[in-house]
Chains A and B, each alone.
Chain A
Amino acid sequence: MRRKKIPTWFVLIFPALVILAAVVLVPLLFSLYSSFTPYKLTRPDTLFKWIGTFNYQKAINSAVFWAAFGRTVLLLTIALNLEMLLGLGLALLVSRVTRGQRALRTLMMFPMMFSPILVGFQFKFIFNDNVGLVNNALQSLGLTNEAIPWLVDKNLAMFSIIFAEMWSSTSVFAILILAGLFAIPQDPLEAAKVDGCTPWQTFRHITLPFLMPFIYIALAIRSLDVARAYDIVQIMTNGGPARRTELLWTLIGRTGYVDAKMGYANAMGYISIVMAIFFTIFFFRKLNAARSELGMAG
C-alpha cells in the first residue's frame, strides 16, 4: 500500500498554523466562549456555567457601555482627522526642505519612540491643574488667574487626551504621507505647471489623489490603534472623573482585571472588535477605490 504523501505546501505552513492556533485562535475561541459565561477570575468554577447572551444583553442595555463606545468613536473621529491634517501639513512642509531634511525626518519620529505609558505620565504632569506646566505658563504670562482643571473639565479632559494622542502619533501620518510624496512622479506636476494650474489646483487634483492610498493606509493603522486606546488614557485620567473620559478599553480593562468579571469584559470586547473590523473594512474599501482611481487596483 502506498502511503499518501502530505502536500508540501501543507508541510511548509503547518508550523505557522500551529503557532497561530496556539497564540491567536485558541485564546480567541476561549475568550469568545467565556463571554457566554459569568466567568470571574477569582472564581474559576464560573467558567463552566453557560448563561447564553446575558453578558451581551447587559452590555447592549448598559448606558455606561454605550457612552464609552460613543466617546471612543468621538476620539477616533477627532484624533484621526486632526492627525491626518497635521501629518499632511507636516509632510508637505518637510518635503520642501532642501537642507537637513534627513535630520528633520528623524526628529519627527521622536514622539513615536516614546512608550504610550511615558507619554501618559508626561501629559498628566503637563496638564496638572496645580503644578502643571501649562497652567504655570498661562498664570506666569498673566493669561489667566485660575487653575484650569485640564484633566477634570468635561471638554478639556477629552481635549487633553486627544492632544497627547496627537503628539505621539501625528508623525505616523507624516512619515507615511512623506513616503507618498516622494513616490509621486514629477511629470504630471510639471505638466500642471505648464498648463498654468494654481498651487491649490495642483495639490487638489494631482498631489492629493496620489497621496490618498498612503493616507488610507495610515488611517487604517491608526484607527485600530486609537480604537483600542488604553495606556495614555489609563495613566492620564483612568477614564474619569465621573466617566467623562471613559473609553471602551479603560472600561473593559477595569471590568476584566479589577472587578475580575472577565466574561462580561470579553462580551464588551467582542462588541468593540466588531467596531474595529467595521473601520478596517471601511478604510480598505476607500483604499481600493483610491488605488483604482490611480489605475493601481488589482
Chain B
Amino acid sequence: MYKSAIRSLLSATALLAIGVASPAIAGEYDGVTIDAKLIGGQQYEALYGRIAEWEAATGATVNIISKKNHFELDKEFKSDIAAGTTNWCVGSNHSSFAPQYPTLYTDLSAYVDADEIAGFVPAMIASSTIGGRLVMLPRAQFDVSVLYYQKSLFEDEANKTAFAAEYGYDLVPPLTLDQFRDQAIFFADPPNFYGTQYAGKDEGASGRFYEMVVANGGQMFNDDWTPAFNSDAGKEALQWFLDLYEAGAVPPGTTSYLWDELGAGFASGTIAINLDWPGWSGYFNDPESSKAAGNVGITVQPMGSAGIHTGWSGFHGFSVTENCANKDAAASLVSFLTSEASQIAESSGGSLPTRTAVWDVVVANAEGDEYRTMALNAFQEGATYAFAVPQTEYWIEASNLIFPEIQAAILGDKTVDEALQAASDAVDEMMRENGVY
C-alpha cells in the first residue's frame, strides 16, 4: 500500500514535470484545425482522451475524420493518394505499412527538435526513417513477440521425466526453435489440447516466416531486393511450420488463424506454448477473459539455428502529410501524442513504450507485481532482438505473394522446395514489374 502510494506520487511528479516541459506555447495555433485519421480501438482511446489538453494549450482544434483499424486505414490512405485528397494533416501509421506511402508523409525531422527525437529508442527511429526521411514518430504501441507458456506443464514431474526420456534434455521453456518444436509435439493431445499454434495467413504468416528465416541466419531479400528466402534458412523455417502441422501439434485450422483467433486460443487454455504480442499479456492473465490466468509464464522468444532470436517487430506511430496546410501545428500534435507524458499514460494500459525514459517509469511502476515484472523483463530483452519488416514499399505486396505458398506447403499442396520456388519467382516478377531492378 505504502509502496504503491510512493509509486503513484512518483509517476504523478514525473507527469507534472513533463507537462510543464511541454514545448507547445499557449495560443500558438489559435483557430487552426487539424484533420486527423487515427487508428480506432479500445486500447488506443486513452491516448486520444489527452488531445483536449493539447487543444487547450495551443488553441488549435483536432478534427478526427476517420477512425479505423490499420488494414482499413491502409486502403483509405491508398484511395486518398489516388484521388489526391491528402490535405488532412495527421495520420496513424505503422512500421509495416509505412514503406508503402513514399509520397504521402513529410519528413518530421524538419519540424521536431533533434533532442526530442533522441529520446526514442534508436532502432525505432531507424525503422521510422524511410529513404532518409523521418516519416513518423512512434507511440507507446511497440510489438515484438515473446513466448507465453502454461507454467504448470513445465512444473509437472511426470512431464519432466517423460520429456527427458524421449528427447534427452530437460523440460524448460524452449530456448531454440528446435526445442519449441519438440515441446509442442510432446504436449499435443488433439483435438482437446495443442502444443502450439501460429498465424497462418496474411502478413501474420509471412511475418512469422520472415523472423524464422532471419533466426536461421538467412534474409528475405538481397541488397538489390532480389528475393533471398528460397535458401537453406528459408527451407528450414518452412519445414518447422510443416513439421508442427503434420504432427498435429497445432490446431488443424491454424492456417486460417490471425491474431484474434490465436489470442482466444491461448486464453482458452488449450495451447501449451505460444509466440505472441505484448498486448495480450494482461488478457491472458485475467481470470475474466482467460482460462490460463494465474498459470501464464512469459519468457524471451527462442533462437533459430543461427543463434539469432526471432524478433519481427512493429510499432504504431503518427505522421504528418506532405499536403497539410499547417505542418508546424500537426507536428506539434504528433510530438504531444508521442511525448513522455503521453507514453507513460498509454503504457499504463499494458502496451510497450518506444521512449527510453518511459521504460524506466514502466518498470518502476511494475515493482511488486510479479506477473507484470516477469512480462516486462521478457519484453525488454525481447525488444533488444527486434527487427522491422524489410524496408521496401513492396513488402505487403511481397507478403501477399509469399503467404499462400507457405500455406500450400503446410497443407501439403506443394513441397517445401516447390512452394519457396513459386514464392520466390512471384516476388521476383513483382519486383521487376515495379522497376525495382
Contacts and interface: CB of A to CB of B under 8 A. Distances in A.
A223 interface: no
A38 B434 CA distance: 9
B400 A41 contact: no
A42 B434 CA distance: 12
Nearest to A127: B253
A225 interface: no
Contacts of B407: 240-243
Nearest to B252: A149
B78 A41 contact: yes
Contacts of A131: 264, 268
Contact of B78 (A42, A128, A243): A42
A41 B255 CA distance: 29
B277 interface: no
Contact of B81 (A42, A148, A154): A42
Contacts of B404: 240-243
B302 interface: no
Contacts of B413: 154, 242, 244
B41 interface: no
Contacts of A261: 397
Nearest to A129: B253
Contact of B191 (A145, A154, A242, A262): A145
A149 B252 CA distance: 6
B173 interface: no
B287 interface: no
A242 B255 contact: yes
Interface stretch (A164-172, A252-260, A275-283): A252-260
B78 A152 contact: no
A240 B396 CA distance: 17
A129 B397 contact: no
Contacts of B81: 41-44
A146 interface: yes
Interface in A136-173: 139, 145-152, 154
Query: Counting chain B CB atoms within 10 Å of each CB, which of A42, A147, A243, A261 scores highest?
Result: A42
Contacts of B410: 241-242
B314 interface: no
B256 A241 contact: yes
A41 B410 CA distance: 33
Contact of A241 (B265, B268, B400, B411): B411
Given A42-B101, A257-B78, A149 B253 contact: yes
B276 to A, nearest CB: 16
B297 interface: no
A241 B251 CA distance: 14
Query: Counting chain A CB atoms within 10 Å of each CB, which of B251, B256, B270, B410 scores highest?
Result: B256
Contacts of B408: 242-243
Contacts of B433: 38
A147 B101 contact: no
A257 B190 contact: no
B325 to A, nearest CB: 20
A38 to B, nearest CB: 8
B256 A259 contact: no
B398 to A, nearest CB: 10
Interface string B388-411: 000001001100100111011011
B201 interface: yes
A195 B35 CA distance: 78
B306 to A, nearest CB: 28
A38 B432 CA distance: 13
B414 to A, nearest CB: 8
A151 B396 contact: no
Interface residues of A, number: 34
A159 B60 CA distance: 55
Contacts of A150: 253
A260 B268 CA distance: 37
A238 B100 CA distance: 22
Interface in B180-203: 190-191, 200-202
B23 interface: no
Contact of A260 (B100, B200, B251, B270): B100
Contacts of B400: 254, 258-259
A139 B253 contact: no
Contacts of A262: 82
B84 interface: yes
Nearest to A237: B256
Contact of A147 (B191, B200, B201, B397): B191
Query: Counting chain B CB atoms within 10 Å of each CB, which of A131, A139, A240 scores highest?
Result: A240
Given A139-B191, A242-B407, A42 B100 contact: yes
Nearest to B397: A259
A108 B253 CA distance: 32
Interface string B49-89: 00000000000000000000000001100110110100000
A152 B256 contact: yes
Contacts of B100: 42, 260
B205 to A, nearest CB: 9
A130 interface: yes
B162 to A, nearest CB: 23
B201 A238 contact: yes
B102 interface: yes
B84 A44 contact: yes
Interface string A245-267: 00000000010011111100000
B102 A42 contact: yes
Nearest to A44: B82
Contact of A42 (B190, B251, B265, B393): B393
A253 to B, nearest CB: 10
Contact of B201 (A38, A240, A257): A240
Contacts of A128: 253, 261
A56 to B, nearest CB: 15
A152 B413 CA distance: 12
30 contacts: A41-B82, A42-B81, A42-B393, A43-B103, A44-B82, A44-B84, A128-B253, A129-B252, A130-B251, A130-B265, A131-B264, A146-B191, A150-B253, A152-B255, A240-B201, A240-B403, A241-B404, A242-B255, A242-B405, A242-B407, A242-B410, A243-B407, A244-B411, A244-B413, A257-B75, A258-B75, A258-B397, A258-B400, A260-B100, A260-B397
Please provide the 6 A-B residue pairs with the shortest distance between their CB atoms, ordered closest to farther: A129-B253, A147-B191, A149-B252, A241-B255, A242-B407, A242-B408
Given A42-B78, A129-B252, A129-B253, 5 more contacts: A147-B251, A240-B403, A241-B410, A242-B410, A254-B400
